Amino acid sequence: MKWDNINQLCDIVRQISYEIHCYHRNGHLEKVYENALVNRLKKQEIQVEQQFPLTVYDEDGTELGDYFADLFVENRLIVELKACKAIDDSHVAQLLGYLKSSRVETGLLINFGAPKLSVKKYLMSQLS
């Protein structure tokens, strides 16, 4: 399965996440879902890196350090995974901070921990 733009890539990750949640349900540790998502993305020949170091930049371009994205897909999509009862504001702030600091435009916040899968897409404009 190939994709033409970032929206199609997000749709693929969203669909695969749904399939994982249908099969495994909630109740596992985050790492189980991370490994499952990596396994299934690679089967689709989609490039994915686990615990991928991304450089954090200051507003003037100075490198400040690294953080590790749960998944970095096709060198353009940060995927932050959770396995908790509900997503809260701190989870959203974490992903938005990662996007802004690393200068990656698009991220998905996926929660496998609730009975209903939650997948939310976030965009960080370079102008903000």
Q: Who wins on pLDDT, 71 or 64?
A: 71
Percentage of the chain surpassing pLDDT 70? Answer: 96
Name which residue leads in pLDDT, 39 or 67.
39
* Of 10 and 68, more confident: 10
Task: Provide the residue type at 120 as one letter.
Answer: K
Whether residue 107 contacts residue 92, with contact meaning beta carbons closer than 8 Å, is answered with no
- Res 126: pLDDT: 52
Tokens of 94: 């974490």
Q: How confident is the model at residue 118 (pLDDT cuts 50, 70, 90)?
A: very high
Mean pLDDT value across residues 28-41:
98
Give me the mean pLDDT over the 92-101 stretch: 90
The beta-strand segments (E) located in 16-114 are: 48-57, 63-73, 77-82, 106-111
Residue 127 has pLDDT above 60, yes or no: no
CATH class for the region spanning 6-123: alpha beta
Radius of gyration of the chain from Cα atoms?
A: 14
Residues 70 and 29: beta-carbon distance below 8 Å: no
Distance between CA 128 and CA 121 in Å, rounded? 17
